[in-house]
């Protein structure tokens, strides 16, 4: 609620405090999904 610039939010099925180490495949998928919006083709350029 305090963050007004969140560009991707998703709850995943597994992971914990150290999610990147515990579930690296899920973490990688979420990172790709989150930053896809910043690619030029996603913005119509």
pLDDT (tens digit per residue) in 9-31: 777 777 777 888 888 998 898 88
Residue 32 has pLDDT above 80, yes or no: yes
Whole-number pLDDT of residue 3: 65
Whole-number pLDDT of residue 21: 87
CA dihedral 16, 21, 22, 26 (to 10 degrees): 90
Position of tokens 């999904």? 33
Whole-number pLDDT of residue 23: 85
Q: Which residues contact 44 (CB under 8 A, 6 or more apart)?
A: none
Residue 42 has pLDDT above 70, yes or no: no
Cα–Cα distance measured from residue 15 to residue 26, given in angstroms and rounded to the nearest whole number: 8
């Amino acid at each position: 609620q305090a963050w007004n610039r969140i560009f991707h939010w998703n709850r995943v099925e597994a992971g914990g405090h150290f999610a990147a180490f515990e579930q690296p495949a899920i973490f990688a998928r979420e990172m790709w999904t989150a930053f896809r919006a910043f690619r030029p083709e996603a913005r119509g350029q």
